[in-house]
Amino acid sequence: MNLREWALSQGIHPQTAYRWYRTGKMPVPTHRVGNKLILVGDLESTQTKQGSTVIYARVSSSDQKSDLDRQVARVLTWATENGYKIDKVVTEVGSALNGHRRQFLALLGDPNITTILVEHRDRFCRFGADYVEAALGAQSRRLVVVDSAEVDDDLVRDVTELLTSLFARLYGRRSAANKAQRAIEAVCS
């Protein structure tokens, strides 16, 4: 912010703040820009970090490509309703059980992407999503999961992910999630 705005926000007269600036007694860092403008505060914090917001959608197999478009549409609708400006949409066909997803790895490796929007947590990462979120958070980046109807109980979510992985190996990847869900429903009832 400029010197005048800073002074008024602190309850100080702008002329007093300017006098402090001239004599080098300002309690916060200042930077002169041009002939008249004096910025107060750390220069990096005065420049808002402009990063991009990306929608990431994924399906496991190519016969589910129609669901890919529906995923993007649902997330895009949610994003516009919640005031996000979408810079890019990334779609991918690939299993969440392995790390062979180029688009996913490119999103994680690009420091200019500050927000990643996904419909469900498992569309982003089947296992270790908490670790990925923590790593993104350490870089001032974030993952936003749009569907709030997800299972919040960590133990139930972990068991679901484990069963999905086991059923994927046993029955094939296509119907693994459905079989895991039916197994959990049978156990809970």
The answer to whether 60 is a known catalytic residue is yes
Q: Which of 52, 60, 61, 165 is catalytic?
A: 60
Residue 63 near residue 131 (C-beta atoms within 8 A): no
Buried b vs exposed e over 133-159: b needs ≥16 C-beta within 10 Å? Answer: beebeeeebebebbeeeeeeeeeebeb
Q: Return the C-alpha torsion angle 23, 28, 34, 37, nearest 10.
A: -90
Helices (H), 33-174: 43-46, 65-81, 102-109, 121-124, 129-138, 154-171
> Catalytic amino acids?
60
